[in-house]
Amino acid sequence: SSIVNVESDNQSPPSAIPELHKAAKSGDIEGLRNSLSFDVASASDLLEVHNGPKTSKRKSSEMIRAILRCYFLSEEEDALSNLLNLQHSDNNLKTALHIAAEHYNREAVIGLLFAGADVNLRDSKGVEPITLIYKNVPKAFLTIFDQHIRCKDESEDVDVSDEDLEIVVNFSAVVGLHGPVDDESRLINETELITTVITESSLDASDVLLHPLVRLFLHSKWNDTHLKHIIWFSIFFHIVWSILTTIYFVDLYLLNCPYIVPADAKDPTITCEYGMGPKIWGWILIVISSIIAVKEVYEFIACPRFWFYFKQLENIGQCVLLILMLITFLTSFFRTTTEEGHTRIYEWEYPIAAWATLVALTLILGQIGKDPRLGIYIEMLQSVCKRSAYFTLVYGPLFVAFWASFKILMPQQAGFGWPGFIKVVVMMTGETNYDDLFYGDEAASFVPFPVLSQLLFLILIMFVTIVMANLLIAILISDIQSLEHSSQLCSLKTQLQQINLMEAFLPSFLSSISLNTNTAKLRQRRFLVTQQSDDVDKAGFSKTISMLQIPRELQEAIREKVRQNMETASQS
């Protein structure tokens, strides 16, 4: 289906002309125009030829414009019938739009879109042009986005600055045109395409997410559908799960049965008597964890690729926590009791409890970050952690070098025992313990080479404590400042990711609880911004919105787009 409304008939496409191929391959624009004056070639055939290494993108874009002008200005044939050539495909079922998007040719993509090229024709691998555009040239849609924000009343006497101005927005380029699909049971995911910009595109697509049409769509998706309530319920449910998990492990392994064993004990097993508290928390957690596990299975199945599920740190953390809890719960069924009626707690359960508590409380941060207003702070934390990890990886050999050197010069110093490089990392923060290291009560026996050791210590202070520590701080401050400047973009990314994650989960869930596909689709409409249909002609992608319903920070940008479209319409 075409993003821009253009009609066409079912006339078969004419064959490509060899002279056109020759002109396209050599980059001869004049020769191409002369050939086009006699006949019209298939745009896909020409694009396949002139997108080669000898032809620049600018020249190939000029050729596309020449082809398109011939489509519309042909005197011998009906111009609209020639549009069918745009949908002509090669042996791999790739159309001109496929090829232009694959070659990152933005100008050609824009020209083909406005000429009425179908964005939903699949190639032999099932790939649609609209997916390739969002992945390779997402900014090509910006011009389309601009034209999809119009005033409801386009008469010249309309005042764009009116507070109650009504506008008509078309979200077809954002959600994609879903025509008849091979699988009739497939439910609609409105954010699937726009999410491609942040998940698969290697280009900077910030302009796409910050465009007023996309921001207005996300605002409507978050506030005008039932999706927000489900997301908030999911956040609350996961936080409760994390808190109950922490209560269970703290109650059992700290309050009732702390690991207190004499150093010379032969049996490290703990025997204790605990009441009903841990048992009640345990059974509640079994029920909640089962629900979480089922939800994770649905999410995993709904992901387009299996690795996409594991790209989310939250999913990895939840899987780890579920595994740790499963080990703990299974162990509880096989615990033995002493003659006094005390329960035996195994030594290895305590490290599992400690790590499970850490993961559970850390997952709460992930849930807090799902709030678009607070997501920026979690984004800062992730950025700092990533940068610190890279920093440690790059300068790790230097830490090991100082540790090995100190160990050789001061072999009896316990602080540089294995893993001694941690001591060097601690010294990087400024905690050097210089007096205790060189002038303590037993320093004479610990420092056999005092001069060389102090020289090495001075080098460590200069390079590690002063230079590297300040370098890391400067890098982190720079990253945080850049994130603060792009806080709006981070908020939109967070909002889009949460909506898309929930939308990917909903189809599988709705299909499982519905008697048939029609019932599932009917229930899903409560979560859609566009009232879509399997029939493109019946799909409602346009929506009338009053300016009073639009957030204040968006109103000026929306008015500007409306004003530009009205000026363009008056000039034409």
d(CA 417, CA 429): 19
pLDDT score of 76: 41
Better pLDDT: 505 or 473: 473
d(CA 183, CA 120): 15
**Domain with 47 in it: what CATH number?**
1.25.40.20
Q: For residue range 478-535, what is the model confidence (pLDDT) as tens digits?
A: 888 777 667 778 788 888 888 888 877 776 566 656 556 666 666 666 777 876 554 4
Element (H, E) at 113: helix 106-114
The H helix count followed by the E strand count for the chain is 27, 5
Do residue 287 and residue 318 come from a single domain?
A: yes
Better pLDDT: 300 or 31: 300
Helix, strand or coil, per DSSP, at residue 233: helix
Do residue 243 and residue 344 come from a single domain?
A: yes
With bands split at pLDDT 50, 70 and 90, how would you rate the model's confidence at 360? very high
pLDDT score of 310: 83
- CA-CA distances (angstroms) from residue 336 to 185, 253, 279, 331, 382? 52, 16, 15, 10, 43
Better pLDDT: 290 or 198: 290
Structural tokens at position 480: 């945080």
428 located within any domain = yes
Highest mean pLDDT among 32-41, 194-203, 341-350 belongs to 341-350
Buried b (16+ CB within 10 A) or exposed e, 418-427: eebbebbeeb
With bands split at pLDDT 50, 70 and 90, how would you rate the model's confidence at 540? low
Do residue 344 and residue 275 come from a single domain?
A: yes
Contact 197, 138 (CB under 8 A): yes
Buried b (16+ CB within 10 A) or exposed e, 194-213: bbbbbbebeeebbebbebbb
pLDDT score of 273: 76
With bands split at pLDDT 50, 70 and 90, how would you rate the model's confidence at 201? low
Residue-number span of the structural domain to which 101 is assigned: 1-136
84 located within any domain = yes
Better pLDDT: 183 or 348: 348
Do residue 11 and residue 94 come from a single domain?
A: yes
Do residue 280 and residue 351 come from a single domain?
A: yes
Q: What is the mean pLDDT of the chain?
A: 75
Do residue 349 and residue 468 come from a single domain?
A: no
- Of 98, 114, 136, which residue sits at a domain end? 136
Query: What total number of domains does the chain contain?
Result: 3
With bands split at pLDDT 50, 70 and 90, how would you rate the model's confidence at 363? very high
Q: For residue range 35-52, what is the model confidence (pLDDT) as tens digits?
A: 544 444 445 555 554 444
With bands split at pLDDT 50, 70 and 90, how would you rate the model's confidence at 339? low
Q: For residue range 229-284, what is the model confidence (pLDDT) as tens digits?
A: 888 898 999 999 999 999 999 998 888 888 887 666 667 777 887 777 788 888 99
Q: For residue range 414-459, what is the model confidence (pLDDT) as tens digits?
A: 767 666 667 777 777 777 777 667 776 655 456 677 788 888 888 8
pLDDT score of 61: 59
- Written as one letter, the residue type at 485 is H
Q: Which of 371, 382, 375 is nearest to 317 (CA)?
A: 382
419 sits in the region (left: phi over 0; alpha: psi -120 to 50; else beta) called: beta
Do residue 445 and residue 336 come from a single domain?
A: no
pLDDT score of 327: 92
pLDDT score of 481: 77
pLDDT score of 241: 95
pLDDT score of 392: 84
Contact 241, 281 (CB under 8 A): no
Helix, strand or coil, per DSSP, at residue 124: coil
pLDDT score of 47: 53
What angle in degrees, to the nearest 10, is found between the helix axes of 375-409 and 349-368?
Answer: 140
Do residue 385 and residue 364 come from a single domain?
A: no
Do residue 313 and residue 430 come from a single domain?
A: no
Do residue 38 and residue 100 come from a single domain?
A: yes
Indicate the pTM of the whole model: 0.71
503 located within any domain = no
Q: Is 552 exposed, middle or buried (0-12, 13-18, 19+ CB in 10 A)?
A: exposed
Cβ partners under 8 Å of residue 266, min gap 6: none
- Facing residues of 271 across strands? 344
Do residue 1 and residue 121 come from a single domain?
A: yes
Do residue 4 and residue 99 come from a single domain?
A: yes
